[in-house]
Amino acid sequence: MLCKNNSVFWSDEKVNIDVCIIGGGPCGLAAALALQNKGISYCVIEKGNVVNTIYQYPTHQTFFSSSEKLEIGNFPFVHEQRKPKRIHALTYYREVVKRNNLHIRTFEKAKSVTKQSDGTFKIETINRKDEKICYDAKFVIIATGYYDNPNQLNIEGENLPHVHHYFNEGHPYYDLDVAVIGGKNSAIDAALELQKAGARPHVFYRGSTYSPSIKPWVLPEFEACVKAGSIQMTFDSCVNKITDDGIYVTQGEDGSETYHPFHAVFAMIGYHPDHSFLSKMGVDIDTETGRPSFSEETMETNVDGLFIAGVIAAGNNANEIFIENGRFHGEVIAETIEKRNKNR
């Protein structure tokens, strides 16, 4: 049986498309819109739901970017406040998918991408029913981001059940002592939410002063809480060990170690892309920066026909590419693919 759905050809054995996009975040969706506008068949593979990374953000997260800088496909993001919150972004991107009838396969995980002898790609996935699906595509776009891979402390006790690398909201920690490890936006935001919910947060940061990357409208509020004593802040500190009821911290020039009791620990020390997934496809990765080998003019990697879009192009530097600039990668890629198709 062979049927056509939104320019994608389905058969009992496999799916034949021009482009397979792996990752259904804003940058992956922007690429899908660009391809669709050019009449190029595609399919988005997303292991969670639409913009799953944004769904995992803290419940009350406010974006650094204004709403117009989060827009994709010339679809207006109208919002009464200058900077939207997580819930507004979720609503916006759902509407983009719905109104443009984007072809996206949610809760389906890409297991492998293999370059075949004829130059096309074989993509193997598994869906929520544990069914294996095979796609044949002329081109592949990887737009998987980095939020699924938290940086590790690599210390004893990191895997204890009360230690977390993601923060949702502060309510469960009311009247509890909570350690927050890190000193950038995710750590500062978590500490503020914990304080508002009646927790007693203590932030431990290895830096000697506040990070310049902290959102400018957040830092004054945080400093006020530190001054008032509702949040404790310890600079030049390194957490060495986590136990069932506390942490061991080295602080100061003498390297003296102290113990601090806590009910919960949030290790908010950043995230990184899945280097192994790209490496298995043959993409060269810089061992120091984590940056994939690619052309900035086309976003094509060293593997012919394999492109990257969004923050994954920045390697380990999470402060270089955001939604507001990564959203334009899709148009660049679509133009390149359109030219390649015409020359075939």
Collapse the DSSP code of 188 into the 3-class scheme (helix H, G, I; strand E, B; otherwise coil) and give the result. helix
Judged on CB neighbours under 10 Å (0-12, 13-18, 19+), 8 is middle
CA dist 255 → 207, 239, 249, 251 (Å):
15, 11, 9, 5
Domain boundaries, the chain: 16-148+271-343, 163-267
Q: Specify which residues 297 forms β-bridges with.
A: none
Across the chain, mean pLDDT equals: 93
Please indicate whether residue 78 or residue 15 has the higher confidence score (pLDDT): 78
Give the end-to-end CA distance of the chain in Å, rounded to a whole number.
28
The whole-angstrom separation of Cα 309 and Cα 333 is 8
Domain topology for 16-148+271-343: FAD/NAD(P)-binding domain (3.50.50)
Region 166-171: what's the mean pLDDT?
97
* Residue 38, both tokens: 């050019």
Q: How far is CA 251 from the centre of its chain?
A: 32
- How high is the pLDDT of residue 343? 78
Q: State which amino acid sits at residue 317.
A: N
Q: Specify which residues 178 forms β-bridges with.
A: 201, 264
- How high is the pLDDT of residue 1? 30
Position 238 pLDDT exceeds 60: yes
| pLDDT class of 152 with cuts at 50, 70, 90 | very high
Q: Which among 109, 103, 104, 61 is positioned nearest to 85, based on CA atoms?
A: 61
Question: Per CATH, is 163-267 categorized as 3.40.50.720?
Answer: no
Please indicate whether residue 191 or residue 1 has the higher confidence score (pLDDT): 191
Position 227 pLDDT exceeds 60: yes
Q: Which among 128, 146, 135 is positioned nearest to 20, based on CA atoms?
A: 135
The whole-angstrom separation of Cα 66 and Cα 77 is 9
- How high is the pLDDT of residue 13? 52
Position 9 pLDDT exceeds 60: no
Region 148-164: what's the mean pLDDT?
96
